[in-house]
Structure 1
Amino acid sequence: METLFQASPAIQIHVYTAVAATLVGAYIFLRRKGTSAHRLAGRLWVLLMVVVSVSSFAIHELNVWGRWSPIHIVSIATLVSLAVAVHFARRRQITAHRWTMISTYVGALMIAGAFSFMPGRIMHDFAVGLSAMAGRSGSALLADTPTLLWPLLAGLVLAGLWRNRARIFGR
């Protein structure tokens, strides 16, 4: 199994921009909304997510349907949701913008990203330091994934939701 550093340039670009988007998104969750810093970070996040999505079309590791896989459907959905979220922001439909961005962050980065840590995938081998996962069961995902990964990702999402609770729930 190849490591991240030996992977194709498309995979490396995809991974590095996904990590950057995860961090920038967490920053946006934790900061005050509507400021010039929020808008700048939001533009950066959208740009990073476009690169993450577009770069996925050069990755053909799973080949479920010919050269395509479910991640390509996620990438198309991500590009559409980014356009919709920007549209909502420009029209000052803040609640719709917020929910579209939160959904995109959780769906495209947290959920889809979690699948990249499945046994046998490059990110799993990178994170765990294993070179092969042949013959391992699905429970290896929980057993071998670094313990702090899942609570850290969940904590970032929950912190963002907690910080925005008044806006989200109309308090």
Structure 2
Amino acid sequence: MTLAPLLAAPPAVQIHVAAVLPAAILSIVLLTARKGTGAHKLFGRVWVGLMTIAALSSFFIHEIGGLYGFSAIHLLSVLTLAGLWAAIAKARAGDVAGHRRVMLQLNVGALGIAGGFTLLPGRRMAAVLFSGGHIWLVLAGLAMLTLAAALLLRRRLV
């Protein structure tokens, strides 16, 4: 693992990663901890702020190409912003089931799927994580985290 590709990245990429990483960690806390508490609401607000920064900063990242520098991944950012708005609205309206559903969708789509794309060969985060020949160790760790998250979500949904 080396941070060199990230340190050499444009500021928008650095801001994006600086928002996504703590949001991913907070996701684990929020999905596993007791709901409706003061801590849940505080961490939820922080998570929404971080995800908003992540989504907005992505519009300044144009390395993949596409139409006028925008790619399909930017559509995910639009969906993320809409999902954040919907999750807040549902929470304020007392629609706990709807809030839970939207938040799970955001975690799977905005963090899980989008995060998975960053690990493809040739992408910056793949270079950060997979340099130095430790790719199998990193992949094993990611597989274990994915399995743990799937089991936690399954337990919560059943």
1:129 corresponds in structure 2 to: 131
Match of 1:158 among 118, 131, 151: 151
Distance 2:138 2:37 in 1: 37
SS in 2 for 1:96: helix
One-letter identity of the residue aligned with 2:25: L
What is the match of residue 42 of structure 2?
Answer: 40
Among the aligned pairs, what percent are the same residue?
37
User: Runs of at least 4 residues of structure 1 off by over 4 A?
Assistant: 142-145
**Alignment partners' CA distance in 2, 1:30 and 1:144:** 25
SS at match of 1:61: coil
Alignment of 1:84-163 (within 5 A): 84-129=86-131, 146-162=139-155
Relative to structure 1, the CA distance from residue 9 to residue 105 in structure 2 (aligned partners, 3 Å threshold; closer, same or farther) is same
What's the Cα RMSD here? 1.8
| Superposition map of 1:58-69 within 5 A | 58-69=60-71
Corresponding residue pairs, total: 153
**TM, length-normalised to structure 1:** 0.83
Q: Which has the higher helix share?
A: 2
Instruction: Quote how far apart the aligned CAs of 1:23 are.
Output: 0.3
Asked if the contact 1:127/1:145 (under 8 Å) is kept, the reply is yes
Counterpart Cα distance in 2 of 1:125 and 1:88: 39
Aligned to 1:79: 81
Q: Distance in 1 between matches of 2:15 and 2:137?
A: 25
Gaps of 5+ in 2: none
Q: Distance in 2 between matches of 1:91 and 1:19?
A: 29
Structure 1 portions without partners, runs of 5+:
131-141
Q: Which amino acid aligns with 1:51?
A: I
Kindly state the Cα deviation for residue 9 of structure 1 after the two structures are TM-superposed: 1.0
In the alignment, the residues of structure 1 paired with residue 85 and residue 131 of structure 2 have an alpha-carbon distance, to the nearest angstrom, of: 37
* Counterparts of 1:117 and 1:144, CA distance in 2: 14
